[in-house]
């Protein structure tokens, strides 16, 4: 079994402090391409499909690391794992800065995603080890909410910085933040006492049990489709939609992303708070998640209809609603043995970020089928088609859940 150590309130705050900063780093890496896409297109002559693939490489690296990450966190604890991964992300950032062509950009983004993969999961593992059980729901929600802070910093503020020092300089600042955060982790986060020795084969077998769980696959299609769409649009395509359909300037796009990230943070905190209340009453937290999905789908429908006058409502509502999917982590984890917490969280995260990579690239492939509009912008019809396809996939995932939830005890 995993050691569960309840720290004093003061010690817990110091231990968790770095982990409240790690989602910020992850989202700075993640959001950068949404800001610098025009620079990359101009400098490297990228097509929409190439731009989508390069941006999506972050999610691919993030996703493929999730399954081994769960085993490593359960075996060694968060401190050594996150330090090693951030070193990998730093190498990726350097490759991206000095990339001579698209292949090196892809490799750099992949390594950044690989290295950022532990940013949230390590915090959840740390909370599981050191926090009292009755504080876990709020701690988990507040950790996720810090992704919104990272997203907000990675939009208009980072855009202003990039305008002053260039996209390479902006990425260099992110590298500096990463180095400071690694030092903070090394100083404040203790090592987890070594648990009773567990064979690798046992951990792999338990991972297989998680991946075969009917509960996981009850919610997996919906979560993959929803997080995939969220990742695709908040990390790249929503500001391009705002440019091509609503006529937003670069600065307006950046501030729109800033508002969307604030809405994401609000959505996560709302989900955590409402879900915790329902769970304490002995009820399922899934209505909160599904309510957010409905808000997200409604916003996407309005975007597909190209109601540009509502742009400032559509995309924050999309961000707020789609953030509710994070509620699945707490709902699923409580149905498994605490010693498997790392593998449960990273298994569902792996599936989600595989969807993000596929959606990121897929939207680019769809848009690439349409001729360019004036001034090098993409066709509004291309955006409409891409959104319609993503809506159909999410509706299929929702239908899967609705049709199968009665066959088992829901999460």
Q: DSSP secondary-structure letter at 305?
A: T
Q: Pick the closest to residue 238 from 327, 151, 111 (CA basis).
A: 151
Model confidence over 81-105: pLDDT tens digits?
A: 999 999 999 999 999 999 999 999 9
- 199 Cβ contact partners less than 8 Å away, ≥ 6 residues apart: none
The per-residue pLDDT for 2 is: 45
Mean pLDDT, residues 24-28 taken together: 92
The per-residue pLDDT for 383 is: 94
- How far apart CA 120 and CA 229 sit, in angstroms, is 19
Q: Per-residue pLDDT for 64 more than 70?
A: yes
Model confidence over 139-177: pLDDT tens digits?
A: 877 888 888 788 888 877 888 899 899 999 999 999 999
Model confidence over 307-320: pLDDT tens digits?
A: 999 999 999 999 99
**pLDDT mean across residues, the chain:** 86
The per-residue pLDDT for 151 is: 80
Which of 53-57, 183-187, 232-236, 323-327: highest mean pLDDT? 183-187
pTM of the model: 0.76
Residue range 9-407, CATH number: 1.20.1250.20
Model confidence over 228-266: pLDDT tens digits?
A: 899 889 878 899 999 999 999 988 998 898 899 889 889
């Amino acid at each position: 079994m995993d050691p569960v150590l309840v720290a004093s309130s003061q010690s817990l705050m110091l231990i968790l402090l770095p982990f409240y900063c790690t989602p910020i780093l992850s989202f700075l890496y993640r959001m950068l391409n949404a800001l610098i896409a025009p620079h990359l297109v101009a400098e490297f002559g990228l097509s929409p499909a190439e731009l989508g693939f390069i941006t999506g490489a972050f999610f691919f690296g993030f996703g493929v690391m999730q399954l081994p990450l769960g085993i490593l966190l359960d075996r060694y604890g968060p401190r050594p794992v996150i330090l090693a991964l951030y070193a990998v992300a730093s190498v990726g950032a350097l490759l991206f800065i000095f990339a001579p062509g698209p292949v090196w950009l892809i490799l750099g983004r992949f390594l950044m995603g690989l290295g950022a993969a532990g940013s949230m999961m390590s915090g959840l593992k740390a909370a599981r080890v050191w926090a009292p059980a009755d504080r876990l729901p709020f701690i988990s929600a507040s950790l996720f909410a810090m992704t919104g802070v990272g997203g907000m910093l990675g939009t208009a503020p980072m855009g202003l910085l990039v305008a002053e020092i260039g996209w390479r300089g902006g990425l260099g600042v992110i590298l500096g933040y990463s180095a400071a955060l690694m030092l903070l982790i090394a100083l404040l986060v203790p090592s987890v006492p070594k648990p009773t020795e567990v064979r690798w084969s046992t951990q792999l077998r338990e991972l297989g049990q998680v991946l075969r769980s009917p509960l996981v696959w009850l919610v997996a299609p919906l979560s993959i489709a929803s997080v995939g769409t969220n990742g695709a649009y908040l990390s790249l395509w929503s500001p391009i939609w705002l440019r091509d359909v609503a006529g937003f300037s670069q600065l307006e796009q950046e501030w729109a992303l800033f508002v969307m990230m604030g809405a994401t943070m609000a959505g996560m905190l709302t989900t955590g708070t409402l879900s915790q209340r329902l769970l304490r009453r002995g009820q399922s937290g899934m209505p909160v998640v599904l309510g957010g999905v409905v808000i997200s789908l409604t916003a996407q429908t309005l975007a597909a209809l190209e109601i540009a006058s509502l742009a400032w409502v559509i995309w924050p509502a999309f961000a707020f609603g789609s953030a509710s999917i994070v509620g699945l982590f707490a709902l699923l984890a409580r149905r498994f043995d605490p010693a498997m917490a790392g593998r449960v969280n990273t298994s569902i995260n792996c599936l989600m970020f595989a969807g993000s990579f596929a959606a990121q690239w897929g939207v680019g492939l769809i848009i690439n089928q349409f001729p360019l509009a004036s001034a090098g912008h993409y066709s509004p019809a291309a955006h409409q088609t891409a959104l319609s396809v993503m809506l159909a996939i999410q509706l299929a995932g929702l239908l899967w859940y609705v049709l199968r939830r009665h066959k088992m005890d829901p999460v």
